[in-house]
Amino acid sequence: MITLDELIKNAANFVEKQQGMWDHNAWLNFISDAQKKGVQLSEEMQSYIGGMLEAMKKIYQTQTMEDSNAAISETMASLSSLTADFIKKTKGIWDHTGWEDFITELQQKGISLTEETREYIGEVLESAKEFYKTMPATELTKEPKTTVKASSKEKTTASKAKKPKPAGAAKPVKKKTTKKSTA
């Protein structure tokens, strides 16, 4: 299944490959490719991805006026990885200081920022955050796959382990029982 990192990276690569211009069929192909990687995208999720792509397109178009192709590739790669890292680190919640720290980190990576590009980066971040919030909980906590064989005892113990409850799950309610009097 595709991770947040991969989706944002794929979005940046798509914008760069399309040179900031695409038609509806290219958009449908992008969504189809994401779904082939195991993400069932609701209309809401597609809307957030669309917002992220449109904001990345604005950044791309702004950068093409100022930078070489290599610089644009570096900008898009840095933007995608730093955005995914920031969203995961903050779990999609940050304040103005967090925003300023994110901008500083981008600048330290050599990305030149005007007021215009800061606005577009804010749009990328907000769209990615909203997408992150709609991702299934299993994707949010997903660890890289490793292939380790467990002993039969470990398998038995693992199968008996309690499964984590989803966030916001209600606690079980204990019913009070009363004894009937036999008078």
| Structural domain boundaries, residue 20 | 4-140
Residue 119 belongs to a domain: yes
Q: How far apart are CA 71 and CA 63, in angstroms?
A: 8
Kindly state the average pLDDT of the residues 162-176. 43
Q: Evaluate whether 87 touches 125 at the Cβ level (below 8 Å).
A: yes
How far is 17 from 135, CA to CA, in rounded Å?
A: 26
From the list 180, 141, 146, the residue with the least C-alpha distance to 164 is 141
CB 14 within 8 A of CB 59: no
Instruction: Using alpha carbons, select from 47, 3, 1, 44 the residue that is nearest to residue 27.
Output: 47
| Structure-model confidence comparison of residues 56 and 160, the more confident one | 56
Whether residue 131 is contained in a domain is answered as yes
CA distance 7 to 17: 15
Band (pLDDT 50/70/90 cuts) for residue 169 is very low
Closest CA to 51 of 152, 121, 104, 110: 121
- In this prediction the pTM is 0.71
Nearest alpha carbon to residue 133 among 47, 57, 54: 47
Distance linking the first and last C-alpha atoms of the chain: 64
Overall domain count for the chain: 1
Return the percentage of the chain with pLDDT > 90, whole number: 52
Higher pLDDT, 150 or 72: 72
Q: Is residue 149 in some structural domain?
A: no
In the chain, what percentage of residues exceed pLDDT 70?
72
Closest to 10 measured CA to CA, from 61, 76, 85, 67: 76
In a domain, 60, yes or no: yes
113 is a domain residue? yes
Whether 171 maps to a domain, the answer reads: no
User: Which of 37, 2, 24 minimizes the C-alpha distance to 142?
Assistant: 2
14: exposed, middle or buried (C-beta count within 10 Å: 0-12, 13-18, 19+)?
buried
Residue 149 DSSP symbol: P
Kindly state whether residue 71 falls inside one of the protein's structural domains.
yes
Confidence of residue 111 (pLDDT cuts 50, 70, 90): confident
What pLDDT was estimated at residue 164? 41
In a domain, 173, yes or no: no
Determine the pLDDT at residue 179: 52
**Selected residue with higher pLDDT from 135 and 167:** 135
